[in-house]
Each structure stands twice: as C-alpha cells, then as structure tokens.
C-alpha cells in the first residue's frame, strides 16, 4: 500500500537535500561535541553530566531558533538525586501546518574502555568505512541532533520548515524514564495541546540490510509466583521425603505453562490473538534478514525453520518465558538443602487483540487449578508484578504514510512494515496520554551496539578478541536529516488533504 502513496513534497525538498550534503562536516562536528559528555543516567556520579547534556541540547536547539524550556521533574523517587529536566522545545506556530511532537533522549547507557571498547567511548572516532563510533552515536544523540540539523539545513537552503515542531527530549530513558509519564500527563493539555502526530526516533531497522518501519510492539505481563513450605530451609538428608518441598510444586506448575516448542499451555490464552494475514506472512518471508541477524547474534536455537514463522512467533504471537526460580528464604545457601520458600518469575508477551485483564484471569486460574491438583501442603501466592499493553498503529494513517514516502525518497526503497517483540513503554505512554498517532521512525541499524555493555565479560567467556563499540553509519546519520525533512514535507501534504 505504501507504494501507492504519491510524493507531494515539491521542489524545496531537493534544495534541502543538497544543503544537507553540503553541511555534512558541520553536522559531524556537532555529534563529536555531543559524544564528549558522558551523560549516563544509571550512575548517580554521572548525573551532573546528564544535566550538562540537557543544557547542551537546549543551546543547540536555541541556536537554530527553537524556543526551549527546561521542565524540572523533581527528585528521583526514593533518592536524593535530582532528575534531569525534560527539554521542551517549540518551532513554528503556523495554523496551516500540522504540529509534530518529536521524542528523543539525551542520556546514554554506561560505557568504559575497560569493558572492552575498541575506542574511547567518549571520543568520536570515524572509521575508514564511515562508521561514527562512540557512546550515544546511535542511541540516541545522533537521531536527536538530526532534528536541529534538519532545521539548520532548511534555513540555510532558504526553504520553510514544512511542519510546526514540538520537542520532548528526556534525560532518563535508559533508567526507567523516571518522571516522564507524569510530565506527559501534566503537559497534555498545555505544552502538547495542539499536537497532531508523534514521532519517536528511538528504534532501528529490523536488520542491517532491511530498511523498515515498525508498527507494533508486544505487551508484557510479568509474574512472581511464591511457594512457601517451612519457616526455614531444612537439611535434605534429615527431612527429604518427610516434608513437602516448595521447589517440587514450582517446577510442576512451571512445566504446565509452556512446552519446549514454545507453545503456551494455559487454556484460552490464544483466543483473541489476531490471525496473521497472508499479506503479512508473505511480506515477512521476503524480508532481507540474515540468519545471524534473525537470532540477534545470541546463537539461540530457532524453533522455526522458516523466516516468516520465526518473525510471526516474535511479532504476532504471544510467548511465555520462564526467567528464573530463586530461593526466597533468608540465609539460603546450602546446596543440598530443601528450600523453604521459592519465587518463580515468568512473563507473557502479548499481541493484538489480547486483553491483559482476561489473560491475567486465565493465568491465575490455571496456576491455582494446577496447584490444587497437586494436593500440596505448601502455600501459593501469585502476583502480577508488572504489566504493559501491546502497541499497534495502522499503517494507513497519514503519519505512517508520510514516513513510508519519506523513506522511499531518501533511501530509494520502500520500507518494510515490521513489529518488535519487546515493548517501548514511551510509545504507549504518548499514545495513551495524547491519543494521537505515534510513529516509530528508525534511524540506525540493529548492529549499532546501542546497549553494548559488559562486552569484555562476554569476550572472555567466548574466548574472542574484543571489538565492541557503539556506532552509527555516516549514511544513516546524514540520511536521518533528509528523512526528517522529507517526512515533515509529506506529512504536511497528507495532513492538509486529510483536513480538506
């Protein structure tokens, strides 16, 4: 369907694109400057650098004419740490243009040369093949700066920026997005009141080879099952066979949840799962994804021989993973003991049109029934500790159609419409709070190493030489600027058609 959308963006876009190419060196210097600041949100001792990075972002956007406000988010719950501000920006208020809310983040994952990085993570290193290496290049400083670059290129090309822009840049994305949801709710009817569409640039292509736009994310229900027998661990010599063992009930219940083929065994779980269409299946089959890429480089054993089946299993079907079974009794340690209390953790990934409350009932009923059938003398407790819904946007919305056309304009290829197996809570937050269409627009590639940490540990284990770093290909960095501009231009046209 994407290919049937005509480009309506006109002449200005060509001028803009060539201006972007002209400014390449300036844009790379800006990224070099940004990479120097180790804005790691996870480490309290780096919090000051996250603040510094927020100021840097505010300055760079003010430089291109954006009105910037720093929204204070107070303290990090349960700590004395100040949360870094939301950098809120506004560019243009033309009632004849749509208003786009852009989300990105200026904090980064931890990194240290000692972890086995190929280069100093805080110095931009450009490899011969054009890879821009450094922490944050791909996630998410490169994509963030691209928006300022875009405004600059339009201005220097003498072309009007085609849409109004509202920016929302966060400094805690890598650390649970503390304070974001509340801030969104607070600003929904104020700073974000006139937003027509949302764009999140914190995703990557489905594979290095396959340009894509994800339209769906799975949801999650995370459970903790606690089974209690004695008051304290017992010696298995002294009491084995005499007292009831919580671990025995636990493995029995766990074994009744999912089989070795990945099929969920809880009755009714699949009832509302939207069937895959032939069109989707065929499109998944034709995606350009290497086998290694399909397995995310984990060396995992695929349950599916066929690429489309593998992708369906992680994008369009629910899954149930058994994470761990932990001894929950204090002082537990003796390896031959009968554990008095065990905690089992598992999660279910959900897809359209599963209803979380239905699933929760089915899960609890199944586990309770199974437990009763055991005739156990132990006590059972089930807790759904965390829950987040699936996310899905129809791609025929003008917001997605604009992005599809823009991708064709810039990369010369129609992007595949894909999904992601994990969840991005921010996407759901924007959708739920603002009730507007939310586009996930990829900038980088999956091998960018966005979260490459503890690399050395892996290398030692695998007996490999370390070659880790985070990178963003120069082509992706520069094309992102063009992509944003094209997207705004296409969106403006489609929005106007839609208004008419």
Which CB atom, from 88 or from 221, has the smaller least distance to its own copies? 221
Q: Does 261 participate in binding its own copies (rule CB under 8 A)?
A: yes
Which CB atom, from 26 or from 303, has the smaller least distance to its own copies? 303
H-run or E-run covering 409 = helix 398-411
Q: Does 419 participate in binding its own copies (rule CB under 8 A)?
A: no
State in angstroms the smallest separation of the CB of 225 from its own copies: 12
x/- letters, 280..319, toward its own copies (CB under 8 A): ---------------xx-xxxxxxx-----x--xx--xxx
How far apart are alpha carbons 453 and 451 in whole angstroms? 6
Tokens encoding 481? 């600027």
> Contacting its own copies (CB under 8 A), which of 109, 293, 347, 401?
347
Q: How many CB atoms lie within 10 A of CB 63?
A: 12
Which CB atom, from 248 or from 384, has the smaller least distance to its own copies? 248
Residues 6+ apart with CB under 8 A from 349: 218, 219, 220, 318, 319, 320, 321, 421
Q: Does 321 participate in binding its own copies (rule CB under 8 A)?
A: yes
> Contacting its own copies (CB under 8 A), which of 325, 362, 404, 478?
325
Which CB atom, from 115 or from 152, has the smaller least distance to its own copies? 115
Q: Does 220 participate in binding its own copies (rule CB under 8 A)?
A: yes
State in angstroms the smallest separation of the CB of 183 from its own copies: 25
Residues 6+ apart with CB under 8 A from 292: none
Query: Which listed range, 90-98, 217-225, 269-277, 483-491, lies at the site for its own copies (CB under 8 A)?
Result: 217-225
Residue 246 backbone phi and psi in degrees, to 5? -55, -35
Give one DSSP letter per residue of 132-164, joined into a string: EESTTTTTTHHHHHHHHHHHHHHHHHT---SSE
Residues 6+ apart with CB under 8 A from 273: 316, 317, 318, 351, 352, 353, 354
Residue 140 annotated to the active site: no
Task: Judge contact between 174 and 41, C-beta under 8 A.
Answer: yes
| Nearest alpha-carbon partner for 444 in 2, 146, 167 | 146
Tokens encoding 285? 């089959």
Catalytic pick from 140, 152, 170, 173?
173
Which CB atom, from 315 or from 477, has the smaller least distance to its own copies? 315
| Nearest alpha-carbon partner for 121 in 460, 400, 483, 471 | 471
Q: How many CB atoms lie within 10 A of CB 271?
A: 12
For β-strands 86-91 and 67-71, DSSP reports them as antiparallel
> Contacting its own copies (CB under 8 A), which of 196, 249, 470, 490?
249
Residue 483 backbone phi and psi in degrees, to 5? -60, -45
State in angstroms the smallest separation of the CB of 374 from its own copies: 4
Q: Does 392 participate in binding its own copies (rule CB under 8 A)?
A: no
Measure the CA dihedral 115/119/120/124, to 10°.
Answer: -140
> Contacting its own copies (CB under 8 A), which of 377, 381, 413, 435?
377
State in angstroms the smallest separation of the CB of 211 from its own copies: 19
Residue ranges in 46-105 that form contacts with its own copies under rule CB under 8 A: none
Which CB atom, from 74 or from 422, has the smaller least distance to its own copies? 422
Residue 311 to residues 264, 295, 314, 361, 448, Cα–Cα distance (Å) = 17, 10, 5, 28, 21
Q: Does 203 participate in binding its own copies (rule CB under 8 A)?
A: no
> Contacting its own copies (CB under 8 A), which of 252, 387, 414, 466?
252
> Contacting its own copies (CB under 8 A), which of 113, 230, 356, 382?
230
> Contacting its own copies (CB under 8 A), which of 68, 90, 188, 232?
232
Which CB atom, from 61 or from 223, has the smaller least distance to its own copies? 223
Residue ranges in 443-472 that form contacts with its own copies under rule CB under 8 A: 454, 457-458, 460-462
Q: Does 6 participate in binding its own copies (rule CB under 8 A)?
A: no
> Contacting its own copies (CB under 8 A), which of 70, 119, 120, 239?
239
How far apart are alpha carbons 49 and 383 in whole angstroms? 38
State in angstroms the smallest separation of the CB of 256 from its own copies: 8
Q: Does 412 participate in binding its own copies (rule CB under 8 A)?
A: no
Which CB atom, from 152 or from 393, has the smaller least distance to its own copies? 393
For β-strands 212-217 and 391-392, DSSP reports them as antiparallel
Residue 173 annotated to the active site: yes
How far apart are alpha carbons 328 and 383 in whole angstroms? 15
Residues catalogued as catalytic? 107, 173
């Amino acid at each position: 369907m994407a290919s049937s959308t005509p480009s309506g963006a006109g002449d200005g876009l060509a001028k803009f694109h060539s201006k972007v190419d002209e400014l390449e060196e300036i844009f790379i210097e800006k990224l070099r400057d940004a990479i120097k600041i180790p804005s790691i949100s996870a480490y309290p001792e780096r919090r000051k650098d996250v603040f510094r990075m927020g100021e840097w972002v505010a300055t760079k956007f003010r430089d291109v004419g954006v009105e910037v406000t720093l929204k204070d988010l107070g303290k990090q719950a349960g700590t004395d740490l100040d949360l870094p501000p939301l950098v809120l920006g506004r560019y243009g208020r033309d009632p004849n243009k749509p208003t786009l809310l852009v989300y990105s983040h200026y904090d980064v994952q931890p990194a240290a040369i000692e972890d086995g990085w190929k280069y100093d993570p805080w110095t931009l290193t450009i490899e011969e093949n054009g890879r821009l290496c450094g922490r944050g290049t791909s996630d998410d400083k490169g994509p963030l700066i691209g928006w300022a670059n875009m405004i600059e290129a339009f201005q220097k090309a003498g072309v009007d920026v085609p849409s109004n822009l509202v920016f929302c840049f966060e400094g805690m994305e890598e650390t649970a997005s503390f304070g974001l949801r509340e801030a969104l709710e607070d600003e929904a009817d104020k700073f974000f009141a006139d937003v027509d569409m949302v764009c999140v640039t914190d995703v990557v292509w489905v594979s290095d080879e396959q340009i894509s736009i994800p339209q769906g994310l799975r949801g999650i229900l995370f459970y903790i099952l606690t089974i209690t027998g004695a008051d304290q661990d017992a010696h298995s010599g002294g009491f084995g066979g005499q007292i009831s063992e919580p671990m025995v009930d636990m493995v029995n219940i766990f074994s009744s949840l999912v089989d070795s083929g990945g099929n969920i065994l809880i009755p009714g779980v699949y009832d509302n799962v939207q069937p895959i269409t032939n069109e989707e299946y065929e499109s998944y089959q034709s995606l350009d994804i290497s086998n290694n890429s399909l397995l995310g480089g984990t060396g995992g054993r695929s349950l599916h021989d066929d690429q489309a089946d593998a992708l369906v299993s992680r994008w369009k079907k629910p899954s149930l993973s058994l994470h761990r079974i932990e001894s929950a009794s204090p002082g537990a340690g003796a390896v031959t003991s009968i554990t008095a209390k065990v905690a089992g953790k598992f999660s279910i990934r959900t897809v359209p049109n599963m209803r979380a409350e239905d699933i929760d009932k089915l899960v609890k009923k199944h586990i309770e029934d199974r437990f009763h059938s055991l005739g156990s003398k132990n006590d059972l407790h089930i807790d759904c500790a965390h829950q987040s819904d699936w996310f899905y946007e129809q791609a025929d919305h003008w917001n997605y159609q604009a992005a599809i056309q823009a991708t064709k304009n810039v990369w010369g290829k129609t992007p595949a419409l894909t999904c992601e197996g994990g969840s991005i809570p921010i996407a759901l937050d924007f959708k739920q709070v603002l009730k507007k269409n939310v586009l996930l627009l990829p900038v980088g590639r999956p091998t960018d190493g966005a979260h490459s940490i503890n690399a050395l540990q892996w290398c030692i284990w695998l007996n490999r030489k370390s070659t880790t770093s985070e990178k963003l290909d120069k082509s992706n960095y520069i094309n992102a600027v063009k992509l944003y501009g094209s997207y705004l231009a296409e969106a403006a046209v489609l929005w106007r058609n839609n208004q008419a």
